[in-house]
Chain A
Amino acid sequence: MKFPPSRFWLALLMVPGFAAAAPKEAGLEERHRALLKENCQNCHGPEKQKGKFRVDNLPPIIRSVEDAERWQKVLNAMNSAEMPPEEEKQPDPSKKADFLEDLAQVMVTARRTLGDQKGVIALRRLNRREYRNTLRALLGVEIDVSELPSDTGGPAFDTVGAALFLTGNQVEQYDALAREALEQAFNLQSTANLQKKLRCEAEAIQPVFLKKSREAWETWKRATKWIQAVDQAAAKPENAQIVAGLRETAKTDDKLRYSWHKIPGAPSPVDFGFEQQAAVNPAIIYVIRDSTDFMSYDDYYVGLLGRDTGSYLTIFHSNLGSGGTGVTSEIRLSIPKDFPPGDYVFRVRVGATADAPAERRFFEFGLHGFFGGSSVLSTHHVSASMDEPEVVEIPYTVTRKNQELGHRHLYIREKGAGNTQGFVAQKIQEARNRLAPGPEVALWIDWVELERKNPAELPPGMRALGIPIDPKTPEVGREELRAALDRFIEEAYRGVKAPEGMIDRLLGIYESRKALGASHRESLNETLASVLSSPRFLYRAEPAENGKHRALDGLELATRLSYFLWAKPPDPELRALGVSGKLFDPGVLEAQTNRLLDHPDAVYFIRPFLTQWLTLDRLDLFQFSQSLYPKFDAAVKAAARQEVYETFGTLLRQNGPLNALLKADYVVVNALLAQYYGIKGVNGDAFRKVAVPAESPRGGLLGMAAIMAMGSNGERTNPVERGAWVLRKMLNEPPPPAPANVPEITRLAGKLLTTRDRIKAHQEEPQCASCHRKIDPIGFGLENFDATGQWRTKETYQAVDAAGKPDPKARKTWTIETASVFHKGPAFKDYFEMREIIAQKREGFARGFSSALVEYALGRPCGFSDEALLENIVRLAREKDFGTRTFIHALIRSKEFQTK
Chain B
Amino acid sequence: MNRPLSRRHFLRTSTALIALPALESLGFRRFAAAAAPVSRPKRMIFLGFGWGVTHESWYPALDQKGADYTLPVALEPLARHKADFSIVQGLWNKYNGNGHYGSTFWLTGANEFGEPGQSFHNTISVDQVAADHLGKDARFESLILDCGAAANGSGHGQGLSLSWDSRGKPMAGPKNPLEAFHRLFAKDTTPLAQQKAMLAQRRSILDNALENARELQRSLGKTDNDKLDEYFQGIRDIEARLSQDEKWLGVPQPEPPMEEPAPGLAGYEEIKLMYDIMVAALQTDSTRVLTYRQPVSTLLTSLGVRIDSHTMSHYHGKGPEYLEASIKRDQAQCELLAGLLDKLKATREPDGSTLFDHTTVAYGSNIRTGHSLDNAPTLLAGRGAGIQPRAQPRRPQRHPALQRLAYPAPRLGSPSRAPRRQHRRHPRPSGLGGGERDKR
Contact = CB atoms under 8 A, between A and B. Distances in A.
B318 A169 contact: no
B211 A505 contact: yes
Interface string B184-227: 00000000001001101100110111011101100111111111
B420 interface: no
B57 interface: no
Nearest to B324: A802
B24 interface: no
B96 A534 contact: no
A165 B314 CA distance: 31
Contact of B439 (A66, A115, A153): A66
Nearest to B304: A803
A576 interface: no
A506 B211 CA distance: 11
A544 B212 CA distance: 17
Contact of B221 (A162, A499, A544, A622): A544
Contact of B227 (A64, A69, A123, A741): A123
A861 B219 CA distance: 24
Given A120-B223, A154-B158, A167 B169 contact: yes
Interface in A831-869: 861
B308 to A, nearest CB: 4
Contact of A506 (B118, B208, B315): B208
Contact of A512 (B169, B201, B226, B321): B201
A740 B98 contact: yes
Given A66-B439, A740-B97, A502 B319 contact: no
B319 A530 contact: no
Given A64-B116, A115-B113, A161-B227, A749 B323 contact: yes
Which of B152, B201, B208, B372 has the largest count of A CB atoms less than 10 A from its CB?
B208
Contacts of B320: 749-750, 799, 801
Contacts of B324: 801-802
Contact of B318 (A166, A542, A749): A749
Interface stretch (B235-243, B283-291, B345-353): B235-243
Contact of A149 (B115, B120, B160, B439): B160
A741 B221 contact: no
B91 interface: no
Interface string A741-781: 11111111110000000100100000000000000000000
Contact of B317 (A76, A150, A748): A748
Interface string A794-813: 00010111111000000000
B173 A65 contact: no
Interface string B109-122: 00101111111100
B221 A746 contact: no
Given A713-B307, A740-B372, A800-B321, A543 B220 contact: yes
A125 B118 CA distance: 17
Contact of B215 (A167, A499, A542): A499
Nearest to B170: A165
Interface residues of B, number: 91
B198 A516 contact: yes
B260 interface: no
A541 B231 CA distance: 13
A501 interface: yes
Contact of B149 (A150, A508, A802): A150
B74 to A, nearest CB: 14
Which of B111, B171, B307 has the largest count of A CB atoms less than 10 A from its CB?
B307
B373 interface: yes
B170 A76 contact: no
A546 B222 CA distance: 6
B70 interface: no
A530 B113 contact: no
Given A508-B204, A740-B98, A167 B119 contact: no
B227 A168 contact: no
B234 interface: yes
A120 B220 CA distance: 13
| Dominant secondary structure at the A interface | loop
A623 B301 CA distance: 10
Nearest to A110: B113
B299 interface: no
B294 interface: no
A541 B119 contact: no
B305 interface: yes
Given A1-B219, A122-B227, A123-B227, A65 B319 contact: no
B440 interface: yes
Contacts of B235: 168, 171
Given A163-B120, A535-B228, A749-B316, A744 B308 contact: no
Nearest to A801: B321
B436 to A, nearest CB: 10
B370 A744 contact: yes
Contact of A502 (B99, B117, B204, B215): B215
Contacts of A861: 119
A117 B212 contact: no
A122 B215 CA distance: 18
Interface string B415-440: 00000000000000000000000111
B13 to A, nearest CB: 34
Interface in B291-310: 301, 304-308, 310
Given A156-B119, A506-B208, A547 B222 contact: yes
B317 A749 contact: yes
B264 interface: yes
A802 B98 CA distance: 28
Contacts of A506: 208
A757 to B, nearest CB: 11
Interface string A496-532: 0001111001101100110010000000001000100
Nearest to A150: B149
Nearest to A805: B321
A534 B209 contact: yes
A156 B172 CA distance: 20
B234 A168 contact: yes
Contacts of A738: 99-100, 371
Interface in B113-137: 113-120
A501 B214 CA distance: 12
Contacts of B231: 166, 171, 535, 538-539
Contact of B96 (A149, A739, A740): A740
B209 A530 contact: yes
Nearest to B374: A741
B61 to A, nearest CB: 18
A14 interface: no
Interface string B363-394: 00000011111100000000000000000000
Interface string A412-432: 000000000000000000000
Contacts of A516: 194, 197-198, 201
A536 interface: yes
Contacts of B328: 802
B235 to A, nearest CB: 6
Contact of B212 (A115, A120, A167, A536): A536
A478 to B, nearest CB: 17
B153 interface: yes
9 contacts: A114-B117, A123-B224, A149-B160, A150-B152, A167-B169, A168-B235, A171-B231, A714-B306, A747-B317
Interface of A: 1, 64-66, 68-69, 72, 76, 80, 111, 114-118, 120, 122-123, 125, 147, 149-150, 153-156, 161-163, 165-172, 175, 371, 499-502, 505-506, 508-509, 512-513, 516, 526, 530, 533-536, 538-539, 541-548, 621-623, 625, 713-715, 718, 737-750, 758, 761, 797, 799-804, 861
The 10 residue pairs across chains A and B that have the minimum distance between CB atoms: A168-B237, A543-B219, A622-B308, A744-B316, A123-B227, A802-B324, A123-B224, A115-B119, A168-B234, A534-B212
Given A508-B208, A539-B227, A749-B320, 15 more contacts: A122-B224, A125-B227, A155-B120, A161-B227, A163-B120, A168-B238, A169-B172, A171-B238, A509-B205, A543-B224, A718-B311, A740-B374, A749-B318, A749-B323, A799-B320
